[in-house]
Amino acid sequence: MSDHRAAATWQPGAPGVLSLPSGRLLRGRGLRRGVAGGELPHLGVYLLGKPPPHVPWESRWLRWPDFRLPSDREQARTLLREVWERAVDERVEVACGGGRGRTGTALACVAVLDGVPADEAVAYVRAHYDRHAVETPWQRRYVARFAA
């Protein structure tokens, strides 16, 4: 990774930053906690049941009600692939209300795209992002089936 690209990504170990096996860095957060200090994202993907508040950076909304699964699974797959691709050299964040269930589920799916086996992705995100990530049995099943 060039110096320019490294400067455009998150700082490893910063709050909410998940390091994937490929070296890509993503930030997960809970919108109820506000914007973390430091750099702003280039792209935010917001997983909410209703449209997110306006932000001064590029953003996408995926309709995803609390404790549920994405309303449009194809849109989810497309957006999460974009998250994974752009995280190579951009600051990308994924967020929901609390930053655990939907965010953790999405991060685990991105980890699958990065090569983490689907049956290990939830454990990976819990170990490297938040030990309470991916809150429901159906979210865990969604991750396990994401590679299919």
Quick one: pLDDT band at residue 148, thresholds 50, 70, 90? Answer: confident
Give CA–CA dist 49/121, Å, rounded.
24
Q: What is the dihedral of CA 106, 18, 124, 146, to 10 degrees?
A: 20
Residue 2 has pLDDT above 60, yes or no: no
CA distances from 110 to 2, 6, 116, 120 (A): 23, 20, 9, 12
pLDDT at 50: 96
pLDDT at 7: 60
Alpha helices in 1-148 (DSSP H): 3-7, 73-86, 101-113, 121-128, 137-145
- From 31-35, 76-80, 83-87, 101-105, the region with the lowest mean pLDDT: 31-35
pLDDT score of 4: 43
Name the pTM for this structure.
0.93
Superfamily of domain 3-145: Protein tyrosine phosphatase superfamily (3.90.190.10)
Domain residue extents for the chain: 3-145
State how far the Cα of 68 lies from the Cα of 23, in Å rounded to an integer.
29
pLDDT, residue 33, reads 83
Looking up tokens 């994202």, which residue turns up? 41
Read off the pLDDT of residues 22-80 as tens digits, 9 standing for 90 and up.
Answer: 999 999 999 998 776 678 999 999 999 999 999 999 999 999 999 899 999 999 999 99
